[in-house]
């Protein structure tokens, strides 16, 4: 399938590997999107089951018919779907924790952490450090709720924000030299957040889905350079 990497097609569902820099559905100024690409490749309409941010990579699930879309969407709403993300952060996360901080809308499509007594939408994320180095680390993040920019903000709350995040205070792309290497070429220019695994239990006429996809090249290269800085 040209332009779209299909990870699994089962029953009325199809999971694809979303690259960075592509919206899931059309934006105000961007007409090209993952839904359109997949529809053109399949020659049929598809339904969006969930979304990933423009620069987030990894497992993205679509439905091939309205009934499958309804069933899968209800599973997401009921919290029956397990999503596991990988994130590159700095400084490294000290230890496993569950961040339970509500989120509130902010300007220009952003969100912010709610302060004490502000209310906001409940948001919980389970974080676990996988690798820790002098200049950063690899974190596994499991969102227990599905709020916009939840993982990014909860990593900030935990003291380990993403290495690059233009919307939340880290706009500068990272070069090899900045990561402990010797070259001046840019290694990482986007938010290093990757939807690594999605598990949907069988039910309502849908088969079980359990699909994984490895880190994309830019995150792999960044992790290699972080490893060279030595353990923390």
Q: Tell me which of 17, 30, 53, 210 is the catalytic residue.
A: 53
Question: For 95-113, how does the pLDDT look when each residue is reduced to its tens digit (9 = 90+)?
Answer: 999 999 999 999 888 999 9
Closest CA to 56 of 179, 128, 164, 208: 164
- Mean pLDDT on 59-63: 98
Query: What is the model's pLDDT at position 30?
Result: 64
User: Is 53 annotated as catalytic?
Assistant: yes
In the chain, the number of structural domains is 1
Give the count of alpha carbons within 13 A of 156, CB side only.
16
- Mean pLDDT on 226-230: 90
- pLDDT level of residue 68 (50, 70, 90 thresholds): very high
Helix ranges (DSSP H) in the chain:
34-42, 66-77, 150-157, 217-228
What contacts 98, CB < 8 A, 6 or more positions away?
124, 125, 126, 127, 144
Residue 148, domain extent: 5-228
Question: For 113-171, how does the pLDDT look when each residue is reduced to its tens digit (9 = 90+)?
Answer: 999 889 899 999 999 999 999 999 999 999 999 999 999 999 999 999 999 999 999 99
Q: Are 104 and 120 in contact (CB under 8 A)?
A: yes
Closest CA to 65 of 41, 42, 31, 33: 42
Q: What distance in Å separates the CA atoms of residue 219 and residue 193, rounded to the nearest whole number?
A: 9
Q: What distance in Å separates the CA atoms of residue 203 and residue 193, rounded to the nearest whole number?
A: 29
Name the burial class of residue 18, with classes exposed (0-12), middle (13-18) and buried (19+) by CB atoms within 10 angstroms of its CB: buried
Query: What is the model's pLDDT at position 1?
Result: 39
* Domain at 99, CATH number: 3.30.2350.10
Q: Are 38 and 46 in contact (CB under 8 A)?
A: yes
pTM of the model: 0.94
**Residue percentage of the chain with pLDDT more than 90:** 87
């Amino acid at each position: 399938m040209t332009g779209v990497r299909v990870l699994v097609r089962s029953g009325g569902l199809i999971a694809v590997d979303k690259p960075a820099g592509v919206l899931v559905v059309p934006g105000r100024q961007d007409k090209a999107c993952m839904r359109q690409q997949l529809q053109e490749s399949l020659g049929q309409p598809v339904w969006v089951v969930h979304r990933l941010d423009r620069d987030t990579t990894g497992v993205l699930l679509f439905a091939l018919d309205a009934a499958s879309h309804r069933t899968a969407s209800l599973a997401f709403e009921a919290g029956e779907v397990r999503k596991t993300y990988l994130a590159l952060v700095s400084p490294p996360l000290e230890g496993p924790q569950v961040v339970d901080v509500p989120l509130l809308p902010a300007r220009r499509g952003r969100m912010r952490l709610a302060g004490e007594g502000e209310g906001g939408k409940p948001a919980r994320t389970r974080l676990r450090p996988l690798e820790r180095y002098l200049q950063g680390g690899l974190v596994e993040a499991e969102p227990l709720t599905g709020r916009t920019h939840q993982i990014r903000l909860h990593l900030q709350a935990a003291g380990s924000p993403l290495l690059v995040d233009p919307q939340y205070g880290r706009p500068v792309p990272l070069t090899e030299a900045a990561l402990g290497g010797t070259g001046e070429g840019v290694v990482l220019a986007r938010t290093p957040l990757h939807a690594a695994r999605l598990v949907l239990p069988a039910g309502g006429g849908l088969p079980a889905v359990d699909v994984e996809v490895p880190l994309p090249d830019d995150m792999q290269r960044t992790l290699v350079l972080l490893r060279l800085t030595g353990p923390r």
